[in-house]
Amino acid sequence: MRLAAASLSLAAALSIVAVGVSAQGLGDAAAGEKVFDECKACHQVGPGARNRIGPHLNGLFGRKAAGLEGFHYSDSLRRAGTNGLEWHADTLHAYIENPRAFASGTRMSYRGLKDPEERADLLAYLRGYSDAPIDIPEADPTATATDHDLDPAILAIVGDPEYGEYLSGECTTCHQADGNVDGIPSITYWPEEDFVVAMHAYKNKQRSHPVMQMIAGRLNDEEIAALAAYFKDIGN
């Protein structure tokens, strides 16, 4: 299942900052090899690459997220894979820029690579270690190198926790207020920023879960901020 719909609306809905990357998604592989230094502490790529702290990155393009047998992924990334997330230029751009937008509980503790040109170079490099790179489109048709980060103005909104408490009634039908997990993840005691980023990722359809897309889809920026303010420190 490709995330065609997701990438379409991703381009449409996120604040798009077109950047001057020539190949529209993929850059210069040689330059990318140097950028890969950022990842080497945890990832291997190339002949004989094995899983280390992070999974090996051979054959990454077209691979289902959290798709390697034998690597212990986070539940978060595994869920994203079940929901249909696959690695392509567009999704990789977004993940590498801000790993937590896709999967809040990802085990990849990496702050993100913010420079779009570096990301494009890095992806060109990694693409060389996927099967038949010739057949991999330089960039997915809908994907331009976009800025996947949320508008800082959205992150700066100060939420009204009392409104958040009221709105949380819609959430606690599924997400248990005491943080227990029985098949639906816990959303209590989250840092506000992670919460806001995750909710906007559903709203923008960057994350592909239909229930959460619907729920986040009708919350406005203030309401998301209010919920984040409430859930950051709810007790029992």
Partner 1 sequence: MALDRRTFLGTSAALTAALAAPMVRAQATPRVVVVGGGAGGATAARYIAKDSEGAIDVTLVEPTRTYYTCFFSNLYLGGFKEIEDIGHTYGGLAANGVNVVHDWAIGVDRDARTVSLAGGASLPYDKLILSPGIDFVDGAVPGWDISAQNAMPHAYKAGSQSELLKAQLMAMPQGGTYAMVAPPNPFRCPPGPYERVSMVAHYLKANNPTAKILIADPKEKFSKQGLFEEGWANHYGGMVERVGPDFGADNVEVDPTAMTLSIDGVVENVDVCNVIPAMKAGRIAELAGVTDGRWAPVNAADMSTKADPDVYVLGDAAQQGDMPKSGFSANSQAKVCANAVRGALTGSRVFPAKFANTCWSLIETNDGVKVGATYEATEEKIAKVDGFISATGESAEVRKATYEESEGWYAGIVADMFGASA
- Binding site residues, partner 1, CB under 8 A: 1, 79, 82-84, 162-163, 165-167, 169-170, 172-178, 180-184, 210-211, 213-215, 217-218, 236
Using rule CB under 6 A, residue 77 touches ligand HEC: yes
Using rule CB under 6 A, residue 181 touches ligand HEC: no
Q: Which of 88, 93, 127, 207 is in the footprint of ligand HEC by CB under 6 A?
A: 207
Select the span of 2-10, 22-30, 131-139, 184-192 touching ligand HEC (CB under 6 A): 184-192
The one-character DSSP state at 157 is P
Q: Interhelix angle for 192-203 vs 210-217, to 10°?
A: 100
Q: Which of 28, 33, 38, 222 is in the footprint of ligand HEC by CB under 6 A?
A: 38
Using rule CB under 6 A, residue 43 touches ligand HEC: yes
**Least distance from ligand HEC to the Cβ atom of residue 164, Å:** 9
What residues contact 172, with CB distance under 8 A and at least 6 apart? none
Question: For 172, left (φ over 0), alpha (ψ -120 to 50), or beta?
Answer: alpha
Using rule CB under 6 A, residue 236 touches ligand HEC: no
Using rule CB under 6 A, residue 107 touches ligand HEC: yes
Strands of the chain (E only): list them.
Answer: none
Pairwise CA distance, residues 168 & 41, whole Å: 40
64 has which bridge partners?
Answer: 86
Pairwise CA distance, residues 115 & 113, whole Å: 6
